[in-house]
């Protein structure tokens, strides 16, 4: 018995020994190859990648399936998506240890939509989204620390702790939130595009919503208005196939959300492929700037439930979740691409992951030490007023003091 | 009380339109009253004021005890001395120009749009049609289709659109064709408009103006006679003002456009044809200030919008009876101008609130609480509040008259309060 085990152990050791030998031999050509980590991150030679899943087009021509990118961009994709993933997982554990309260909607699984979008946009373009906004805020120039502080309701949060998970904004980078009511952000998006057209700003607005919000009347109103006046707005439906607990086939007669604009042309994109997203958004931006409204449907998936209060397994099987994670995970896709194109090594990736984890851990630690907002902040920012008047209710009581 | 019995009692003493003398044949004294009534109430410019004879079962009157029948109680003087009502600081009689209220609104709007290119109007039929109440007539030709934007009938989304535009630097004015339609945009107004300044930690300002005609009109039906000030008053972050004369309409419109806060400007369907002489010079009124319409010593009457004119009607009667009421048009519905109101209460020690909102949860309810809390020691009498009935506004003319406060009720209430 024991000898059997020993023999087995020996086999294992032999196996691992040979594996390391193989690894060593396989490492050798890479290290001899011209690129090391430092230069890959700066390598801007264009490379062409073929997008795996073809686009589905509605009343327009789909863009080409050949995406041009650079090693630098791919490395950046990986780093950003991994950071987002770590951030959301940290938010998960913080929620479970009751540092984050209320509603916390996590974005893990959908990172490719955000990074792909940002790669095709500039900060002149406006983004408005719903409550699943932590990663979008990060993509728009936010820091992990201010996101974590906001989630924990601290003073250093991006909305001074007064907004919370669902109300993150970054005005200087044209990120308009962060909206709690499903679908209410789509008319806001039309309004942002209207302002861009009015002030003749060369930019587009991305009004993001989910498959659940796709059934809101105000979305159709906004699409009609946008198409009528040729507003430069791109309606981006992040279709993760579940509107909280209701699957798309149970809530929509036509779950082809890219077609639901009817007269508005649309495109269905594999939302787990950052490059496909980038290509589609580039195409849509060109269309929106020249012609008018456009719809993009991002076929994506969320691993967590709708929010932290939702286990996420009562309306879908764990097999489905793990299946998507194995086959379509956006980070794994970029990882495989980076390794296949020999842009980075496994060790490089491990370093990047470690850095991201450290960044998130540091940010969480700093956020935990950030103070709670001062009680006088309760009554600030109700009205815009100078001269010391902070708020007055119907009976004109002005509060500047500490509340009991 | 049984509704049919109530109705019978109410209709027993009611005047029907078009033929006042036909009714009340049962009571000889009331027909005398009817005749007197017809001549005593002057016709308001642009609107026929129907007079009303209300029985004791009137719900408002219950607050003050039973209202006596007209033949024995109310003594109407046919030739009431016209009281010089000061309307705040209006122009002198010779200078200035005369116009109607909707023209005053248009003037204010025009001046602001010329002054600031980011000001735009968004609403149904505001552009080519010129506005359903002609407030924006002729402006689309001057400023173009983009600044006078004709929207589809989609209140929720075009209000949201205006809020989005305001977040990124424009100063839109949303016109609800009737204020009641803005109920469809309640989510956008309450959640986005009122709250975005707060939830973004001060990053975004929403310098939007939401305006439109509301109030009980001429048999427009229940859904077109809404008074939304009571619904919006709890939304934090919003400011609400109500205009009542061409002078304050123009001034408040300009102030609202220039304000960095979201402002809801309540106009009234029946006041658009009021004529007044306003100054030629440019002026902007303060959004948070109340207007002293008529100084007095006996009682403070607080009112706004159309009820101001009903109060002034009643004041004519009251003055001839020897009372000296102080009339304040509160104008600012949120926040209240407790400074002006408080000074008045300290002088007269009695308050009567006359409003067109529903009784339940209306502006009067909040104002009563605010006055009680702040000036309890100054009061000699309970605060009176005359509001509209808590009913959907009926279509029938006389019933519609019964839902809204009428001048005789105001006179009666003042008399009761002044007994204290």
Distances (CA, A) of B352 to A188, B333, B379: 43, 16, 11
Q: Does A128 map to a domain? A: yes
B267 in catalytic set: no
Q: Give a yes or no: residue A38 inside a domain.
A: no
A259: in domain: yes
| Other CB atoms within 10 Å distance of the CB of residue B114 | 11
Tell me whether residue A6 is in a domain.
no
Contact between B353 and B368 (Cβ < 8 Å) = yes
Higher-confidence residue: A29 or B175?
Answer: B175
Residues of A in contact with B151 (CB under 8 A): 225
- A34 cis-preceded (ω within 30 degrees of 0): no
What is the 3-state secondary structure of A81-93?
HHHHHHHHHHHHH
ipTM: 0.71
**Summary mean pLDDT of chain A:** 87
pLDDT at site B396: 85
Evaluate whether A168 touches A177 at the Cβ level (below 8 Å): yes
pLDDT for B59 equals 41
Is B118 exposed, middle or buried, given 0-12, 13-18 or 19+ CB atoms closer than 10 A?
A: middle
The CA distance from A40 to A44, in Å, is 8
Contact B198 A192 (CB under 8 A): no
Binding-face residues of A in 32-61 toward B, CB within 8 A: none
Task: Write out the residue range of the structural domain in which residue A71 sits.
Answer: 47-379
> What secondary structure letter does DSSP report for B266?
E
Q: How far apart are CA B207 and CA B260, in angstroms?
A: 4
pTM for the model stands at 0.75
Residues counted in chain B:
420
pLDDT at A38 (0 to 100)? 56
Residues forming beta bridges with residue B291, ordered by sequence position = B329
Q: What is the pLDDT of residue B71?
A: 43
Interface contact A188, partner B, CB < 8 A:
yes
Instruction: Give the residue from chain A lying closest to B205, CA to CA.
Output: A384
Residue A246 has pLDDT above 80, yes or no: yes
Give B212's strand partners.
B266
Average pLDDT over residues A29-55: 71
In angstroms, the CA B81 to CA B214 distance is 32
pLDDT exceeds cutoff 90 at A237 = yes
Give the SS3 label for residue B132.
coil
Q: What CATH number corresponds to the domain at position A182?
A: 3.40.50.970
Nearest chain A alpha carbon to B170? A195
Chain centre distance of CA A242? 17
In a domain, A95, yes or no: yes
pLDDT value of residue B72 = 42
Q: Is residue A298 within a helix (H) or strand (E), and if so which, with residue range?
A: strand A294-299
Q: So what's the pLDDT on residue A388?
A: 35
Whether the CB of A191 is below 8 Å from some CB of chain B: the reply is yes
Which residue(s) pair with A58 in the sheet? A266
Question: What pLDDT was estimated at residue A7?
Answer: 55
A374 domain-assigned:
yes
Per-residue pLDDT tens over the stretch B185-230: 999 999 999 899 999 999 999 999 999 999 998 888 888 899 999 9
Which of the following is catalytic: B55, B155, B229, B356? Answer: B155
Mutate to test the interface with B, among A381, A398, A399 (most CBs of B within 10 A): A381
Which of A175, A216, A394 to mutate to probe the B interface, most B CBs <10 Å?
A: A394
In angstroms, the first-to-last Cα distance of chain A is 73
DSSP string, B201-253: TT------EEEEEES--SS--GGGS--THHHHTTSTT-EEEE--SHHHHHHHH
**From the CB of residue A35, how many other CB atoms can be counted at a distance below 10 Å?**
18
For chain B, which ranges sit under pLDDT 70?
1-94
Number of domains in chain A: 1
- CB-CB under 8 Å, A222 with B335: no
Query: C-alpha A345: how far from its chain's center?
Result: 26
- What is the per-residue pLDDT for B157? 93
| Any domain includes A282 | yes
DSSP states of B138-206 as a string?
Answer: THHHHH-TTTEEEPPS-HHHHHHHHHHHHHTT-EEEEE-SSGGGGGGGHHIIIIIITTHHHHTTT----
* Residue A367 within any structural domain of the chain: yes
B387 vs chain A: nearest CA distance in angstroms?
18
| A146 within 8 A of A207, measured Cβ to Cβ | no
Residue A352 pLDDT > 80, yes or no?
A: yes
């Amino acid at each position: 018995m024991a000898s059997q085990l020993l023999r087995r152990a020996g086999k294992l050791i032999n196996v691992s020994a040979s594996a390391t030998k193989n690894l060593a031999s396989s490492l050798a050509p890479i290290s001899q190859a011209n690129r090391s980590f430092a230069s890959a991150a700066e390598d801007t030679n264009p490379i062409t990648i073929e997008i795996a899943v073809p686009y589905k087009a509605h009343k327009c021509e789909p863009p080409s399936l050949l995406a041009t990118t650079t090693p630098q961009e791919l490395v950046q994709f990986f780093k950003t998506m991994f950071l987002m993933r770590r951030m959301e997982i940290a938010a998960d554990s913080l929620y479970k240890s009751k540092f984050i309260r209320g509603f916390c909607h996590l974005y893990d699984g959908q990172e490719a939509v955000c990074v792909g979008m940002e790669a095709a946009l500039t900060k002149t373009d406006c983004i408005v989204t719903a409550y699943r906004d932590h990663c979008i805020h990060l993509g728009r120039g936010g820091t992990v620390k201010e996101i974590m502080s906001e989630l924990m309701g601290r003073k250093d949060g991006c909305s001074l702790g007064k907004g919370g998970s669902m109300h993150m904004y970054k005005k200087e980078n044209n990120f308009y939130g962060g909206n709690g009511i499903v679908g209410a952000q789509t008319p806001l998006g039309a309004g942002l595009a209207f302002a861009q057209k009015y002030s003749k700003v060369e930019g587009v607005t991305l009004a993001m919503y989910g498959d659940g919000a796709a059934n809101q009347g105000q979305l159709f109103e906004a699409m009609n208005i946008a198409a009528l006046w040729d507003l430069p707005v791109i309606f981006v439906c992040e279709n993760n196939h579940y509107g909280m607990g209701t699957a798309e086939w149970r809530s929509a007669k036509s779950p082809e959300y890219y077609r639901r604009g009817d007269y508005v042309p649309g495109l269905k994109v594999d939302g787990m492929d950052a490059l496909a997203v980038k290509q589609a958004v580039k195409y849509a931006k060109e269309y929106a700037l020249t012609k008018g409204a456009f719809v993009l449907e991002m076929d994506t998936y969320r691993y967590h439930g709708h929010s932290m209060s939702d286990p996420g397994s009562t309306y879908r099987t764990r097999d489905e979740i793990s299946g998507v994670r194995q086959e379509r995970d956006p980070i794994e896709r970029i990882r495989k691409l980076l390794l296949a194109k020999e842009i980075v090594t496994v060790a490089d990736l491990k370093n990047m992951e470690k850095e991201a984890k450290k960044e998130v851990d540091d940010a969480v630690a700093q956020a935990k030490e950030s103070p709670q907002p001062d009680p006088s902040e309760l009554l600030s920012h109700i009205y815009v007023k100078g001269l010391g008047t902070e708020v007055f209710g119907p009976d004109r009581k002005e509060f500047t003091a500490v509340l009991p | 009380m049984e509704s049919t019995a109530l109705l019978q009692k109410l209709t027993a003493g009611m005047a029907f339109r078009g033929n006042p003398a036909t009714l009340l044949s049962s009571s000889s004294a009331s027909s005398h009253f009817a005749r007197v009534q017809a001549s005593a109430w002057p016709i308001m410019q642009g609107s026929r004021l129907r007079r009303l004879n209300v029985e004791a079962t009137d719900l408002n009157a219950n607050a003050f005890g039973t209202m006596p029948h007209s033949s024995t109680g109310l003594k109407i003087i046919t030739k009431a001395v016209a009281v010089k009502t000061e309307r705040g600081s209006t122009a002198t009689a010779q200078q200035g120009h005369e116009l109607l209220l909707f023209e005053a609104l248009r003037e204010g709007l025009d001046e602001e749009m010329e002054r600031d290119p980011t000001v735009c109007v968004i609403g149904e039929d505001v552009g080519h049609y010129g506005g359903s109440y002609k407030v924006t007539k002729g402006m689309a030709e001057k400023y173009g289709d983009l600044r006078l934007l004709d929207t589809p009938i989609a209140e929720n989304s075009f209000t949201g659109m205006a809020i989005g535009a305001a977040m990124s630097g424009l100063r839109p004015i949303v016109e609800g064709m009737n204020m009641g339609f803005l109920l469809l945009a309640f989510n956008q107004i309450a959640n986005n408009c009122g709250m975005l300044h707060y939830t973004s930690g001060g990053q975004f300002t929403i310098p939007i103006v939401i305006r439109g005609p509301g109030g009980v009109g001429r048999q427009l039906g229940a859904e077109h006679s809404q008074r939304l000030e009571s619904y919006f008053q709890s939304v934090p972050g919003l400011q609400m003002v109500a205009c009542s004369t061409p002078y304050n309409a123009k001034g408040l419109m300009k102030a609202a456009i220039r304000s960095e806060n979201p402002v809801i400007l309540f106009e009234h369907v029946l006041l658009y044809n009021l004529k007044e002489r306003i100054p030629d010079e440019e002026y902007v009124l303060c959004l948070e200030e109340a207007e002293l319409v008529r100084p007095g010593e006996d009682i403070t009457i607080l009112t706004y919008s159309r009820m101001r004119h009903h109060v002034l009607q009643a004041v004519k009667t009251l003055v001839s009876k020897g009372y000296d009421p102080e009339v304040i048009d509160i104008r600012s519905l949120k926040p209240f101008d407790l400074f002006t109101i408080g000074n008045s209460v300290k002088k007269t020690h009695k308050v009567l609130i006359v409003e067109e909102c529903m009784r339940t949860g209306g502006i009067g309810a909040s104002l009563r609480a605010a006055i009680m809390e702040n000036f309890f020691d100054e009061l000699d009498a309970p605060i009176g509040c005359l509001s509209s009935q808590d009913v959907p506004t009926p279509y029938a003319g006389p019933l519609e008259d019964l839902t809204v406060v009428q001048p005789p009720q105001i006179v009666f209430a003042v008399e009761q309060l002044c007994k204290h």
